[in-house]
Homo-oligomer: A and B are copies of this chain.
């Protein structure tokens, strides 16, 4: 805590007066009380973004799925479990935000029904019908207030840049951070990440492998640049 206070003292308060929402972690989509569908997200990238935003003086809201990480000091923490819950909380908070960074690895699918009791093993083979969860980022893009900076993440195992560029436009984002899941030392559960940052003007920033803290700093630097550009125009 003392280290964090000292670090905050030496960090320029470049986001003071700004409100930033960061989503993080996986979501859990249950099909009975003890079984669910999820993904390997640890929340590290999102928590690093929230910590850095808070350090720079932003009013920072962290909406997180289940994670063992401790919320960074100073952030307003909103814990959720399912994609449905994350959608509700994020959609409520988003309109008042200067920037929204969707770093969560939201489950795209959920079991259609959740059984009220633990499914017994003698149920033999069974079939889980999956339905789509709400597309949170899509909703944020279509209702984006003027001036808000909306940042998405794309984690792909193939056609990374193509898929990310398409998502950036289709979802009305300002920035998309693209993660190649097939790279070592990148993506889920790692402390480091190798990403490309894509912008609406078609430019691409190709970053070397660095810690998630450093990726967070780069992303927030880019958000600050967009704030500055919008104020000038």
**A interface residue numbers (CB < 8 A to B):** 28, 33-40, 42, 66, 68, 105, 107-109, 112, 117-119, 121, 124-132, 135, 155-158, 181, 188
CB distance from A37 to the nearest CB of B (A): 6
Contacts of A117 in B (CB 8 A): 157-158
Indicate whether A33 sits within 8 Å of B157 (C-beta atoms), given known contacts A121-B108, A126-B109: yes
CB distance from A159 to the nearest CB of B (A): 10
**A41: nearest residue on chain B (CB-CB)?**
B34
Indicate whether A37 sits within 8 Å of B40 (C-beta atoms), given known contacts A125-B131, A130-B126, A132-B124: no
Which of these, B37, B125, B127, contacts A132 with CB under 8 Å? B125
Cβ-defined contact, A68 with B42, below 8 A: yes
Which of these, B33, B35, B135, B157, contacts A118 with CB under 8 Å? B157
**Interchain CA distance A108-B31 in the complex, whole Å:** 13
Contacts of A118 in B (CB 8 A): 155-158, 181
**Interchain CA distance A34-B107 in the complex, whole Å:** 10
Contacts of A35 in B (CB 8 A): 37-39, 107, 109
Contacts of A130 in B (CB 8 A): 125-128
User: Given A34-B188, A112-B125, list of 10 further CB < 8 A pairs?
Assistant: A33-B157, A34-B157, A34-B181, A35-B39, A36-B37, A117-B158, A118-B155, A118-B157, A124-B132, A125-B131
Question: Which among A38, A66, A105 has the greatest number of chain B C-beta atoms within 10 A?
Answer: A38
**Interchain CA distance A196-B121 in the complex, whole Å:** 22
Cβ-defined contact, B127 with A127, below 8 A: yes
Cβ-defined contact, A135 with B157, below 8 A: no
CB distance from A224 to the nearest CB of B (A): 31
A-B contact pairs, 29 of them (CB 8 A): A28-B40, A33-B157, A33-B181, A34-B155, A34-B157, A35-B37, A35-B39, A35-B109, A36-B39, A40-B66, A42-B68, A108-B119, A109-B119, A109-B126, A112-B125, A117-B157, A118-B155, A118-B156, A118-B158, A121-B132, A121-B135, A125-B131, A125-B132, A126-B130, A127-B127, A127-B128, A127-B129, A128-B128, A128-B130
